[in-house]
Amino acid sequence: MEYQTKSSAEMNGMCNSKLVTEYLCHNGFSELSIESKKLPVQDQSESSRKKAEDESRLPALEAAYTTILRGLGENTERQGLLRTPLRAAKAMQFLTKGYHETIYDILNDAIFDEDHDEMVIVKDIDMFSLCEHHLVPFFGKVHIGYLPSKKVVGLSKLARIVEIYSRRLQVQERLTKQIAMAISEALQPAGVAVVIEAAHMCMVMRGVQKMNSRTVTSAMLGVFREDPKTREEFLSLVKTS
Amino acid sequence: MERAKLRQGEQEDAAAAAAAAVAGGEQHSLNGHCEGGRSKVARCRESPGEASGSGARTPGQSGHSSSVMESWKEERTRSVEDNEMSLPSIAAAYTTILRGLGEDPQRQGLLKTPWRAATAMQFFTKGYQEKIIDVLNDAIFDEDHDEMVIVKDIDMFSMCEHHLVPIFGRVHIGYLPNKRVLGLSKLARIVEIYSRRLQVQERLTKQIAVAITEALQPAGVGVVIEATHMCMVMRGVQKMNSKTVTSTMLGVFREDPKTRDEFLTLIRS
């Protein structure tokens, strides 16, 4: 917890510390891995431990999926459904693999000191997540921009941050905020902006059934929040022509 | 000529289907909603030569298993009461899944998720609750029309039966009526009934085509489905822009290349 409170004090009023700990607590998923600093060797055993953990949980997931199929009135013995519980369980584990990964693991090496203080934008990052209310996918694009303060991050790491937080049971608002916070914490930039535009299958496939609806959320931190011109520059650069 | 052949073929198949239905008791095997024993649906996907004893097969309709045909009339295997009764067990299964993924089912966002997810899944498979015959019964009209009728860009949402992940895309349907036309929205309703199930895109295409054939006995039917499979996009190979296209051409659409061509050109524009 020390790691989190120290960095929250450095936030320069971007948010209060309560928000930081709330948003960084892995959606309530209680893994301790973010608090321990690990050596690369330990990393390997960590990931294989998690893989073994995944496999040990598979039978319970399979049984649950079999129950679901039967409850829907399907015949679980027919050819097309024979291995579906296993496949569906593995698919679900893949779609929630973000719980196993930590920002610290992926960012550790790729922060560089560059004398750059202009906006850096990575846009149109495809994002796939699961709605935590209906367990149905939502997907779209993430646009990230930040104004570095002498420290830049490897570009693919922005996409990896998106992956970590999106491969979970999510709410789009929280996802946007988590991505913005993670970048803030790692780089201490002058400002971070994240915009997500997504289609929610829970609205498209069921419920109101509005095919073309899109949900747009954004998180602006630091100078992006305070200075409207910076924000405008970012928004015009990510606008798809 | 071809129309007569198609109709005769259907009559033969219908007779065979009736015979098979009587012989097989209560077995309606489409999508595995089978009251007993070994599922016949596997034969839907086998080549014509392999399936034996499944009923007469006419030369003009290769790959046309009678189990597909007989199920058109008797489809509904789930009722609203069934839904209510199975909801608790499905919700409990979802709670197990949430725990198995390492989540905390007691946190605020997840408190009612098992119920919501169970209801959502029942909605995504509501095609099992509906019968084609109920949907179509009134809307077949006698019109002296024998030109192609096309309804295209019908949004379709289904569930992959292998991964339980959504499939979505568009369906284009064309048919050449033989003095009988169908209410246009009924084509979309047929798509809904068959797509809101655990499906395989090939089977879905065929089921839609067969249902229209059976209902109207038209000169020909063409169905084209273009869909995105989330199981390929969100996981596995992760190819974002891939689309799967399947088609079924029956009757004069299969035999006459010019008719087929006209249909494909009209749906493309």
Return the domain boundaries, chain A.
Answer: 48-99, 110-238
A161-210: pLDDT as tens digits: 999 999 999 999 999 999 999 999 999 999 999 999 999 999 999 988 88
Query: Which residues make Cβ contacts (< 8 Å) with residue A93, sequence separation at least 6?
Result: A54, A57, A58, A61, B101
Closest CA to A212 of B189, B155, B267: B155
A17-53: pLDDT as tens digits: 344 444 444 454 444 334 334 444 555 566 666 777 7
Distance CA B199, CA B192 (A): 12
pLDDT value, residue B110: 93
- What average pLDDT does chain B have? 78
Model confidence at B41, in pLDDT bands (50, 70, 90)? Answer: very low
The single residue of B160, B172, B199, B214 carrying the catalytic annotation is B160
pLDDT value, residue A18: 41
Does the beta-carbon distance from A134 to B109 stay under 8 Å?
Answer: no
pLDDT value, residue B136: 82
Beta bridge partners of A125: A142
Q: Does B56 touch chain A (CB under 8 A)?
A: no
Lowest-confidence region among A5-9, A58-62, A231-235: A5-9
Pairing verdict, β B149-160 and B198-199: parallel
pLDDT value, residue A8: 37
Q: Chain A contacts of B107, Cβ < 8 Å?
A: 27-28
A89-133: pLDDT as tens digits: 999 999 999 998 888 888 878 889 988 889 999 999 999 999 999
Q: Give mean pLDDT, residues B15-41.
A: 41
Closest CA to B248 of B215, B201, B214, B198: B201
Lowest-confidence region among B46-50, B194-198, B238-242: B46-50
CATH architecture group of domain A110-238: 2-Layer Sandwich (3.30)
Give the distance from residue B184's alpha carbon to the nearest chain A alpha carbon, in angstroms.
Answer: 20
Pairing verdict, β A120-131 and B149-160: unpaired
Query: Which of A65, A67, A72, A141 to substitute to test the interface with B, most B CBs within 10 Å?
Result: A72
Burial class (CB in 10 A: 0-12, 13-18, 19+), A40: exposed
Q: Which of residues 157-186 of B touch A (CB under 8 A)?
A: 157, 161-166, 168
Residue B201 known to be catalytic: yes
pLDDT value, residue B76: 62
SS3 B235: coil
B225-257: pLDDT as tens digits: 999 999 999 998 899 899 999 999 999 999 999
Query: Which residues make Cβ contacts (< 8 Å) with residue A241, sequence separation at least 6?
Result: none
CATH of the domain spanning A48-99, picked from 1.20.1050.10, 3.40.462.10, 3.90.1310.10, 1.10.286.10? 1.10.286.10
What Å distances lie between residue B257 and B7, B220, B243, B253, B262, CA to CA?
Answer: 20, 12, 25, 7, 9
Q: Give mean pLDDT, residues B64-92.
A: 70
Q: What's the CA dihedral at B160, B164, B169, B170 to 10 degrees?
A: 60
Closest CA to A201 of B230, B177, B236, B59: B230
The single residue of B33, B64, B172, B229 carrying the catalytic annotation is B229
pLDDT value, residue B269: 77
Q: Chain B contacts of A94, Cβ < 8 Å?
A: 235
Give the distance from residue A226's alpha carbon to the nearest chain B alpha carbon, in angstroms.
Answer: 31
pLDDT value, residue B226: 96
Q: Which residue of A has its CA nearest to B230?
A: A137
Q: Give mean pLDDT, residues A229-233.
A: 95
Q: What's the CA dihedral at A171, A172, A175, A176 to 10 degrees?
A: -150
Residue B33 known to be catalytic: no
Task: Tell me A212's DSSP state.
Answer: T
Beta bridge partners of B156: B169
pTM, entire model = 0.74
pLDDT value, residue B155: 95
The residue ranking higher by pLDDT, B24 or A58, is A58
Does the beta-carbon distance from A65 to B97 stay under 8 Å?
Answer: yes
Helices (H) and strands (E) in chain A, counts: 10, 7
Instruction: State both tokens at B140.
Output: 């077949």
Q: Which of residues 211-240 of B touch A (CB under 8 A)?
A: 230-231, 233-235, 240
Does the beta-carbon distance from B166 to A92 stay under 8 Å?
Answer: no
Lowest-confidence region among A2-6, A197-201, B98-102, B127-131: A2-6
Which DSSP string do the residues of B35-72 spell out, in sequence order? Answer: SSSS-STHHHHS-TTT--SS----TTSTT--HHHHHTT
Does the beta-carbon distance from A78 to B39 stay under 8 Å?
Answer: yes
B86-123: pLDDT as tens digits: 999 999 999 999 999 999 999 999 999 999 999 999 99
Q: Give mean pLDDT, residues B133-140.
A: 82
First to last CA, chain A: 44
Residue pairs between chains A and B whose CB atoms are closer than 8 Å: 175
Radius of gyration of chain A (CA): 20
CB B236 within 8 A of CB B219: no
CB A194 within 8 A of CB A219: yes
Map tokens 């299969």 to a residue: B254
Map tokens 């919501």 to a residue: B116
What number is the ipTM of this complex? Answer: 0.76
First to last CA, chain B: 31
**Backbone torsions φ then ψ of B78, nearest 5 degrees:** -140, 145
What Å distances lie between residue A119 and A10, A116, A125, A191, CA to CA?
Answer: 21, 9, 17, 9
The answer on pLDDT for A15 being more than 60 is no
Does the beta-carbon distance from A91 to B235 stay under 8 Å?
Answer: yes
